[in-house]
């Protein structure tokens, strides 16, 4: 039995999405830009997917732009926003725990002359909303941060921060990287005042290579790439219709089953928490109030990668917080003030809608066996 | 117009009575290396190998020449047109054939070689006539006999006349497998692929042995080593790749040997396993990528301890080279990019904090006597998997 607990890295495509993608490849294979009927049929697929995403975000489907994935969305959002606000200020506010697609993009802008302020978690590993309010000033053109941290599951305080800042600075653009939070937490960009919101398909049972970007109605940002005008010229290039069809089907499936999917995440997390209590040496790194589909834990003394491969031998697949080989510790876990020993041994376990209680029991059993065996080698 | 490739033999041209045997090995290697390029006739005369494609019009000459550039035993390679041994035929075709090569040239010279002494004109006369023909066609060109942009070669050989616009250097060295077979201990780092390349250049065919220790090393580390072997095959030909399960051995060493001796003891165990595998196949030598004083296990004392664990000849072609020199070759042969991928072959769980730099053989033998490693060596040999890598 393969026990796949790395669903924050990517998920298995759901049957509905695979079928929709297949149909788009062999039946509705026209180019959405073509004027004939085959083109129209392909264009309808794009519209269907926009509507499915809009239904989950409570927005107009015209606000949904389809992209090549969340890295693409984040780049378009951040670079496009600062370029659209070029004359209004030179400061960007973000956090110290971002995914590289945000972190690196912001660093590139920093090198080109922007002032970047990075809000850090407090000593308890939580963000204080006050820190965001303090960082943003009249020179700030963009606030960009993640909805849920991808390594620990920590939920960032967007519910408090976004409305408060929008009230003080109506022209400030706010971008949320929603890759790990979208469909897992209630989120309504218009109600909150979020201008830009990125999400990825393959974390949500859709194929890889497809993502989306919500852009607030009436907001104009400048494109990063230029071409044939697709996606209102924000993301030109012939649309990846099969992947888009898959995304639409996956989002529709999630919408129909959202509460049972969420219940499963929560139950699995509770199960892991109670089972690992019985294994000496295991400590939990994720906060109690984190996003339910992620749990991060450590077995101090045993390097993450060795642990990962030992679990792999038992067909259990998890993720390591950091690559031990080069000795570099995960910058994000360090930013959350985790001790080095825990960072070196951090493992991320993440659930899917299909993860079962038996799988979690088998994972806990494997973790116990591997901890015993490796513990003896490392300490012996 | 019929074209062929001429590969001039290198060092083997100097061999005496054995020459024919070396030439045959080289021709066999060439045939193998060109196997994906379509049918060719390969023959050897006058220290030159003739590679004659059945369908020269659609033959991928550039690809084949690129492949030949990696074949040891070849001194130089040229792509030539085949003509009648007849001055009229030569003068009629020479300009058309070399027009592209001369496109950007300002100066040229013609060199003629006449190994068929029956041919009525002598070399200087051939060169003069061909040179005159070229000058009359391309008015912008000038002759420069000392430093020409292009040298046009006219070779009058036994079987025909050949014209080409110069040759490119071959890989040199001796044909692979003309010197026997050896087994390289390959880790995934920068050094061992370079060592393999260097010994293949002296005519050895290769087996490779890699020690893997999951879960302390990953499948990607193994994949990396296989990729390295694959990247060597243009030079070495097929490599027999032996993958040894080594986890149990590393765990036993960690549990039973003094920490500071771990690396040298592990190297000795590796030598023992490699020796057993080599002897099963009647392979007479081992190759390592060690370079004196590069790390703790590569001091004179440590090398002595490693050598003592095998009766086989241990070849260490990098022994006197600096890291910079090794990296330079590694870049040239195209293994560097793969070697620096981060997947490591020995986990930090095992590597001692302070390895002994001057280990004594007696101390090692005493430490080895504390535990019966014999069955572990047996199991490592028995569990070894063989995978031929053809590239």
Domains, chain A, ordered by start: 3-9+258-379 (3.90.1150.10), 15-253 (3.40.640.10)
Tell me what the mean pLDDT of segment A97-122 comes to: 97
pLDDT band at residue A328 under the 50/70/90 scheme: low
Tell me what the mean pLDDT of segment A310-324 comes to: 84
Listed in sequence order, the residues at least 6 apart from B22 whose beta carbon sits closer than 8 Å to its beta carbon are B12, B15, B73, B174, B175, B178
Q: Which of A306, A313, A322 has the highest number of chain B CBs within 10 A, making it the mutation to test binding with B?
A: A306
Output the pLDDT for position A310.
Answer: 96
Tens-digit pLDDT profile for residues B218-266: 899 999 999 999 999 999 999 999 999 999 999 999 999 999 999 999 9
Residues of chain A contacting residue B219, judged by C-beta atoms under 8 Å apart: 309
Q: Phi/psi of residue A54, each to 5°?
A: -65, -35
Output the pLDDT for position A378.
Answer: 83
Rounded to whole angstroms, the Cα distance separating A253 from A101 reads 28
Output the pLDDT for position B356.
Answer: 87
For residues A245 and A50, the answer to whether their CB atoms sit within 8 Å is no
Output the pLDDT for position A380.
Answer: 66
Tens-digit pLDDT profile for residues A39-82: 999 999 999 999 999 999 999 999 999 999 999 999 999 999 99
With a cut of 60, say whether residue A322 has pLDDT above it: no
B180-389: what fold? Rossmann fold (3.40.50)
Domain B3-171 and domain B180-389 have a common topology: no
Rounded to whole angstroms, the Cα distance separating B280 from B95 reads 59
Tell me what the mean pLDDT of segment A313-329 comes to: 73
Binary contact (B344, A325; C-beta < 8 A)? yes
A324 among known catalytic residues = yes
Tell me what the mean pLDDT of segment A221-226 comes to: 94
DSSP B137-169: H-TT-EE-SSS-SEEEEEEE-SS-EEEES--EE
Output the pLDDT for position A319.
Answer: 95
Output the pLDDT for position A75.
Answer: 98
With a cut of 70, say whether residue A327 has pLDDT above it: no
Binary contact (B215, A325; C-beta < 8 A)? no
Tens-digit pLDDT profile for residues A244-292: 999 999 999 999 999 999 999 999 999 999 999 999 999 999 999 999 9
Chain A residues with a Cβ under 8 Å from any Cβ in chain B: 303, 305-313, 323-327, 374, 377-378, 380
With a cut of 60, say whether residue A323 has pLDDT above it: no
pTM for the structure as a whole: 0.88
Output the pLDDT for position A168.
Answer: 96
With a cut of 90, say whether residue B287 has pLDDT above it: yes
pLDDT higher at A126 or B351: A126
- What residue ranges in B21-136 does DSSP mark as E strands? 40-45, 48-53, 74-83, 107-114
For residues B316 and B287, the answer to whether their CB atoms sit within 8 Å is yes
Output the pLDDT for position B172.
Answer: 95
Residues of chain B contacting residue A324, judged by C-beta atoms under 8 Å apart: 348
Query: What distance, in Å, lies between the first and last C-alpha atoms of chain A?
Result: 32
- So what's the ipTM on this one? 0.82
Output the pLDDT for position B56.
Answer: 87
For residues B242 and B382, the answer to whether their CB atoms sit within 8 Å is no
Q: Find, in chain A, the residue whose alpha carbon is nearest to that of B252.
A: A377
Question: B238, exposed or middle or buried, with CB in 10 Å at 0-12, 13-18, 19+?
Answer: middle
pLDDT band at residue B10 under the 50/70/90 scheme: confident
Tell me what the mean pLDDT of segment A180-200 comes to: 97
Tens-digit pLDDT profile for residues B95-113: 999 998 888 899 999 999 9
Tens-digit pLDDT profile for residues B125-150: 999 999 999 999 999 999 999 999 99
Neighbours of A250 (CB within 10 A): 29
Q: Which two tokens stand for residue A240?
A: 């990846």
For residues A68 and A119, the answer to whether their CB atoms sit within 8 Å is no
Instruction: Tell me the CATH number for domain B3-171.
Output: 3.30.2130.30
With a cut of 90, say whether residue A15 has pLDDT above it: yes
Task: Give me the residue spans of the domains in chain B.
Answer: 3-171, 180-389
Tell me what the mean pLDDT of segment B295-300 comes to: 86
Number of A to B CB contacts under 8 A, please give it: 37
């Amino acid at each position: 039995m393969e026990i796949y607990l790395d669903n924050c890295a990517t998920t298995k495509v759901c049957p509905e999405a695979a079928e929709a993608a297949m149909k788009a490849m062999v039946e509705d294979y026209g180019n959405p830009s073509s004027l004939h009927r085959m083109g129209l049929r392909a264009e309808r697929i794009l519209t269907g997917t926009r509507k499915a995403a809009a239904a989950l975000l409570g927005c107009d489907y015209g606000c949904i732009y389809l992209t090549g994935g969340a890295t693409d969305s984040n780049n378009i959002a951040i670079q496009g926003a600062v370029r659209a606000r070029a004359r209004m200020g030179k400061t960007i506010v973000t956090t110290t725990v971002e995914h590289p697609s945000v972190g690196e993009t912001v660093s590139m802008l920093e090198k080109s002359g922007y002032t970047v302020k990075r809000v850090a978690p407090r000593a308890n590993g939580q963000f204080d909303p006050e820190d965001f309010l303090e960082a943003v000033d009249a020179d700030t053109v963009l606030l960009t941060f993640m909805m849920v941290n991808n390594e620990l599951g920590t939920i960032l305080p967007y519910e408090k921060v976004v409305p408060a800042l929008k009230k003080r600075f109506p022209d400030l653009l706010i971008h949320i990287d929603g890759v790990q939070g979208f469909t897992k937490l209630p989120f309504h960009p218009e109600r909150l005042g979020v201008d830009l919101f990125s999400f990825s398909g393959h974390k949500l049972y859709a194929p890889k290579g497809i993502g989306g970007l919500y852009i607030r109605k009436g907001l104009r940002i400048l494109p990063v790439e230029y071409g044939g005008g697709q996606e209102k010229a924000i993301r030109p290039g012939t649309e990846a219709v099969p992947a888009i069809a898959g995304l639409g089907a996956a989002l529709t499936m999630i919408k129909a089953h959202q509460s049972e999917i969420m219940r499963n995440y929560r139950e699995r997390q509770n199960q892991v928490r109670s089972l690992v209590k019985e294994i000496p040496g295991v400590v939990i790194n994720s906060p109690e109030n984190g996003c339910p589909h992620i749990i991060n834990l450590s077995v101090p003394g045993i390097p993450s990668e060795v642990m990962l491969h030992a679990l792999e031998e038992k067909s259990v697949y998890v993720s390591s917080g950091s690559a031990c080989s080069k000795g570099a510790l995960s910058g994000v876990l360090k930013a959350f003030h985790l001790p080095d020993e825990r960072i070196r041994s951090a493992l991320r376990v993440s659930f899917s809608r299909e993860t079962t209680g038996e799988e979690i029991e088998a994972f806990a059993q494997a973790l116990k066996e591997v901890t015993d065996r490796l513990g003896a080698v490392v300490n012996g | 117009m019929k074209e062929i490739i001429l590969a001039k033999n290198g060092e083997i041209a100097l061999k005496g009575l054995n020459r024919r045997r070396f030439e045959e090995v080289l021709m066999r290697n060439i045939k193998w290396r060109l196997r994906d390029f379509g049918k060719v006739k390969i023959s050897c005369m006058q220290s030159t190998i003739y590679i004659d494609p059945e369908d020269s019009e659609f033959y991928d000459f550039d690809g084949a020449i690129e492949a030949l550039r990696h074949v040891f035993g070849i001194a130089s390679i040229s792509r030539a047109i085949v003509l009648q041994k007849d001055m009229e035929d030569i003068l009629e075709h020479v300009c058309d054939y070399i027009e592209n090569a001369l496109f950007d040239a300002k100066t040229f010279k013609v060199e003629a070689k006449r190994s068929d002494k029956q041919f009525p004109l002598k070399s200087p006369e051939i060169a003069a006539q061909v040179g005159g023909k070229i000058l009359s066609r391309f008015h912008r060109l000038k002759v420069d006999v000392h430093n020409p942009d292009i040298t046009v070669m006219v070779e009058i050989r036994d079987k025909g006349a050949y014209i080409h616009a110069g040759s490119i250097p071959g890989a040199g060295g001796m044909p692979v497998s003309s010197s026997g077979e050896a087994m390289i201990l390959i880790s995934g780092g920068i050094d061992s692929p370079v060592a393999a390349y260097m010994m293949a250049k002296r005519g050895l065919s290769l087996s490779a042995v890699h020690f893997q220790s999951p879960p302390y090393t990953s499948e990607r580390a193994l994949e990396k080593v296989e990729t390295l072997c694959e990247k060597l095959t243009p030079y070495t030909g097929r490599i027999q790749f032996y993958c040894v399960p080594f986890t149990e051995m590393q765990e036993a060493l960690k549990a039973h040997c003094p920490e500071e001796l771990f690396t040298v003891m592990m190297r000795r165990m590796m030598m023992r396993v490699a020796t057993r595998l080599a002897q099963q196949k009647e392979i007479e030598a081992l190759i390592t990528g060690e370079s004196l004083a590069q790390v703790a296990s590569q001091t004179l004392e440590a090398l002595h301890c490693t050598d003592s664990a095998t009766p086989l000849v241990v070849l260490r072609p990098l022994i006197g080279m600096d890291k910079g020199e090794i990296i330079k070759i590694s870049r040239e042969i195209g293994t560097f990019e793969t070697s620096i991928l981060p997947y490591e072959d020995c986990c930090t769980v095992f590597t001692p904090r302070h390895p002994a730099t001057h280990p004594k053989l007696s101390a090692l033998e005493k430490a080895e006597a504390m535990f019966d490693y014999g069955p572990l060596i047996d199991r490592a040999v028995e569990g070894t998997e063989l995978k031929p890598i053809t590239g």
